[in-house]
Amino acid sequence: MRSVFEIARLTFLEARMRKMLWAIVLLGIAFLALYAIGFHLIYTDIRAHMVGGAARLLEPVNFFVLAGLYAINFLVVMLAVLTSVDTIAGEIASGAIQTIATKPLRRGAIVVGKWLGLALMLAVFTVAMCAALMLIVKLEADYTVRNPIQAIGLIVLEGLIVLTLSILGGTRLSTLTNGVVVFMLYGLAFIAGWIEQIGSMLRSEAAVNIGIAVSLLMPSEAMWKRAAYLLQPPFLRELGLDATPFGAASAPSEAMVVYAVLYTALALWIAIKEFSRRDL
């Protein structure tokens, strides 16, 4: 375990020394500031012109919460790929991995250490961004987001799925190919999520099945769909006021979440095995 923590520490140190951490923190603050200003202006305007009950006011608030979290969710996926796509593939290509792999540690410790370092940074970023956004909404509109912990957990899990696949790809593919493969898989899952949602609304069993099949191949988007479903107040759904481009008409089941956790663990295990047996 000592080796795992040393590699994780090295990964964190690299992110700090390369100023990646600062870039993420500063741009994250810029994102939240922009969101706060935009939400304040729009919410003030809507409240001044809103006609109807409290439920009608919740509809745009819910929309903006989901829009903001969806943007964070997308940033998390991008960060997961961009921070990890080169971490193993690049070091293999350059030969830099050779001095590390000849130290008294198992090769698996290198994979797990890098994964752990990146996963912790990704998780901290996700939690901080989501919590800050929810706090902005609470302070501005006195709106308490439903199921915040589960929703943030699911967004973190989505990031970890993408991160783990990227690390797995890096053990076999070049940096460029790895990036293309992971982004394309994410794209497939994204469009399959839409097919499933629209199929669900139109009661098309075939469309729903296609969406589920692709989700089994790449369960990342399903995590967002479930997070979005949990974030929405139930009565908005009952009143038919939940239709947003970012929300979910139906939620993937808890079994899908368990599947996603197992999927991530399996991908990491395969990454360890692949890296352990390949020539460096």
Partner 1 sequence: MLIETHDLRKTYGPTVAVERLTLSVGAGEVFGFLGPNGAGKTTTVKMLLGLAAPTAGQARILGRPPGDPAIMGRVGFLPEQFRFPPWITAADFLDIHGRLCGMAAAERRTRTAALLARVGLADRANSRLGEFSKGMLQRIGLAQALLNRPALVFLDEPTSGLDPLGRHEVRDLIRELRGDGVTVFLNSHFLSEVEVTCDRVAIVKRGRVVRLGALDELTRHATEIELRVAGLTPEAATGLAQWGRVVRDQESGIRGPEAGGRGQETGATEVVRIVMAVAGEDVAPALAAYLTGAGAQIYALAPRRLSLEELFMRVMQEET
Q: According to CB under 8 A, which one of 3, 147, 150, 200 is a site residue for partner 1?
A: 3
Taking CB under 8 A as the rule, does residue 203 contact partner 1?
no
Taking alpha carbons only, the member of 196, 227, 236 closest to residue 68 is 227
Rounded to whole angstroms, how far apart are CA atoms 1 and 261?
22
Closest CB to partner 1 among residues 86, 242:
86
Interaction of residue 94 with partner 1, rule CB under 8 A: yes
- Establish if 274 lies at the interface with partner 1 (CB under 8 A): no
Q: Which is nearer to partner 1, 14 or 140 (CB)?
A: 14
CB of 99 to partner 1, least distance (A): 6
Q: How many residues bind partner 1 (CB under 8 A)?
A: 25
Least separation in angstroms between CB 166 and partner 1: 20
Q: Is 13 in the site for partner 1 (CB under 8 A)?
A: yes
Single out the residue of 104, 203, 240, 254 in contact with partner 1 (rule: CB under 8 A): 104
Query: Does 22 engage in binding with partner 1 (CB under 8 A)?
Result: no
Using CB under 8 A as the binding rule, whether residue 6 contacts partner 1 is answered as yes
Binds partner 1 (CB under 8 A): choice among 98, 144, 209, 253? 98
Q: CB of 102: closest distance to partner 1 in angstroms? A: 5
Q: Which of 48, 49, 51, 99 binds partner 1 (CB under 8 A)?
A: 99
Cβ atoms of 253 and 208 closer than 8 Å? no
- CB nearer to partner 1: pick between 5 and 31: 5
SS3 assignment for the chain = CHHHHHHHHHHHHHHHHCCHHHHHHHHHHHHHHHHHHHHHHHHHHHHHHCCCCHHHHHHHHHHHHHHHHHHHHHHHHHHHHHHHCCCCHHHHHHCCHHHHHCCCCCHHHHHHHHHHHHHHHHHHHHHHHHHHHHHHHHHHHCCCCCCHHHHHHHHHHHHHHHHHHHHHHHCCCCHHHHHHHHHHHHHHHHHHHHHHHHHHHCCCHHHHHHHHHHHHHCCHHHHHHHHHHHHCCHHHHHCCCCCCCCCCCCCCCHHHHHHHHHHHHHHHHHHHHHHHHCCC
In whole angstroms, the minimum distance from the beta carbon of 277 to partner 1 comes to 7
Report whether 249 contacts 201 (CB < 8 A). Answer: yes
Q: Which of 25, 27, 33, 96 binds partner 1 (CB under 8 A)?
A: 96
The single residue among 103, 135, 239, 258 that binds partner 1, judged by CB under 8 A, is 103
CB of 125 vs partner 1, minimal distance in Å: 20
Residues making contact with partner 1 (CB under 8 A): 2-3, 6-7, 9-10, 13-14, 17-18, 94-96, 98-106, 277, 279-280
